[in-house]
Copies of this chain bind each other. A is one copy, B any other.
Amino acid sequence: MYDLILKNISRFITLTPEEEQYFTSILKIKKLKKKQYLLQEGDITRHEYFVNKGCLRTYAIDEKGQEHIIQFAIEDWWTADLGSFISQSPADLNVQCLEDSELIQISYNDLQQLYIEIPKLERFFRIIIQNAFVAAQKRIINNLSLPAMERYIRFRDQYPKIEQRVPQYMIASYLGITKEFLSKIRAQLTNH
Contacts and interface: CB of A to CB of B under 8 A. Distances in A.
A91 to B, nearest CB: 12
B137 A82 contact: yes
Contacts of A145: 60, 62, 66, 68
A83 B131 CA distance: 8
A58 to B, nearest CB: 9
Interface string A139-152: 11101111000000
A119 to B, nearest CB: 5
Contact of A130 (B86, B140, B143): B86
B134 A82 contact: yes
Interface string A155-192: 00000000000000000000010000000000000000
